[in-house]
Structure 1
Amino acid sequence: MLKVDNIHTYYGNIHALKGVSLEVNAGEIVTLVGSNGAGKTTTVKTIAGLLTAAEGGVFFNGEDITELAADKTVRKGIALVPEGRQIFPFMTVQENLDMGAYSRTGDADIKYSYQEVFTLFPKLWERRKQQAGTLSGGEQQMLAMGRALMAKPKLLLLDEPSLGLAPILVETIFTLIQEINRQGTSVLLIEQNARMALLIAHRGYILETGKIVLADQADKLLNSDEVRKAYLGE
């Protein structure tokens, strides 16, 4: 479904990604694990069209989307849940979800998406008239995920969904990611919490200073001495 082929991305003179290649197949959860500054967020921003690769390519269902702007990639079927959630704090929960559906037409189809989101996240139904900025951190993360799902993506990019959440909420968010995947959405998961990410993923990539240094089935990475020492604190 997604093929990232040898991309190089820069911030000014800073060479942030140095030939990153990865793939996500239909139906998979794939995780990209790495420490702060490794280039994880740069990778998803390049896929989503918020940054443009200087070299290499991004392909989605066989189509070259390397130079497409973010609004166009959404229409192709890719939705990003950004790091830090970035909800609209002075809009209601309902209005935030409305923003997620901006690129779609067909009232009946959109109405069905609301039902799906509220089934996944019942708290959002309870809070639908509430200002989004007054939600708890966990509820805001659910809203950011719900807003992305309103675009009806084929591929969901999740950037650090567990950041700043209490451990019990982290478990809830990861369970919801698995459910979203079971319902037919492929997922590329960016995470510092390597253990949790690898426990729910099918495959994983390890990113260090802008380069993929390891790629394997998630269970094999979990049992790798190198990964356990560097990322799992063992």
Structure 2
Amino acid sequence: MLEVKNLNSYYGNIHALKGVNLEVKQGEIVTLIGSNGAGKSTTLNSITGLLKATSGEIWFKGKNITNIPPSHIVKMGISLSPEGREVFPELTVEENLQLGAYTRKDKKVIKETYERVYELFPRLFERKKQTAGTLSGGEQQMLAIGRGLMSEPQLLLLDEPSLGLAPNLVLKIFELIKTINEQGTTVLLVEQNASMALSIANRGYVLETGKVMLTDDAKALNNNAEVRRAYLGIG
């Protein structure tokens, strides 16, 4: 479904991605793990066109989407739930979700997507007329993911969905990610909580200073002594 080939991206003079290669197959949950500054968010921003790649290629469903404008990429079936949630605080829950569907025209299908999102996140339905700035951190995270789903993506990119959440909410968010995947959405997950990410993922990539250092199925990475020591705090 998604193939990233020898991707190089820069922030000014900083060489943030150094020849990154990765693949996401339809129906998978794939996770990118690594320490702060490893290039995880930069990879997602490059895929979505928010950061222009300097060289390399990004392919989605057989089409080269390298440096295509972000709005076109959303229309093609890729959606991002960004790090830090980035909800619009002055707008209501419903208005935030509505913005997620801005590329779509069919009102009947949009209504069905609202229903799907509210079914996944009943808390959002209860607060649909409430402004997003008054929601708790966990509710804002649900809203950010829900907004990402409003474009009916085939591939959902999640950037640090558990960041700043209480442990019980982290479990809830990861259960919901699994449900979203089981309903047919492929997921590429960037997550600081490597243990939780690997517990729901099919495969993983370990990034260090802009390079893929290791890739394997999630269970093997979870059992890898080096990964356990560096990212899971075990051993």
Q: TM-score, normalised by structure 2?
A: 0.99
Matched, 1:219 2:219: yes
Q: In the alignment, does 2:17 pair up with 1:17?
A: yes
| 1:188 partner letter | L
After TM superposition, where is structure 1 displaced by more than 2 Å over at least 4 residues in a row?
Answer: none
State the Cα RMSD in Å: 0.4
Query: Partner of 1:54: helix, strand, or coil?
Result: strand
Partner of 2:49: 49
The one-letter code sitting in structure 1 at the alignment partner of 2:20 is: V
Take 1:4 and 1:117, find their aligned partners in 2: how far apart are those partners? 29
Q: Percent same amino acid among aligned pairs?
A: 63
Tell me the equivalent position of 1:145: 145
The separation in 2 between residues aligned to 1:166 and 1:19, in whole angstroms, is: 35
1:152-197 deviation digits (Å, cap 9, x = unpaired): 0000000000000000000000000000000000000001100000
CA distance in 1, matches of 2:145, 2:96: 11
1:1-234 equivalence runs, <5 A: 1-234=1-234
Q: Give the match's secondary structure for 2:53.
A: coil
- Per-residue Cα deviation, 1:29-50 (whole angstroms, up to 9, x for no partner): 0000010000101000000110
3-state SS of 2:153 partner: coil
What is the rounded CA distance, in whole Å, between the counterparts of 2:132 and 2:154 in structure 1?
A: 26
What is the letter of the counterpart of residue 93 of structure 1? V
Report the Cα offset of residue 11 of structure 1.
Answer: 0.6
Residue by residue over 1:124-144, the C-alpha shift from the partner in whole angstroms, topping out at 9 and shown as x without a partner, is 000000000000000000000
Residue segments in structure 2 that go unaligned for 5+ positions in a row: none
Task: Give 1:207 deviation, angstroms.
Answer: 0.2
Q: Deviations over 1:69-125 (max 9, x none)?
A: 111100000000000000000000000000000000111111100000000000000
1:52, distance to aligned residue in structure 2 (A) = 1.2
| Structure 2 counterpart of 1:87, one-letter code | V
The whole-number CA distance in structure 1 between the counterparts of 2:86 and 2:162 is 14
State the TM-score, normalized to the length of structure 1.
Answer: 0.99
Which whole-Å CA distance do the structure 2 matches of 1:12 and 1:137 have between them?
Answer: 32
Give distance in 2, aligned partners of 1:16 and 1:48: 16
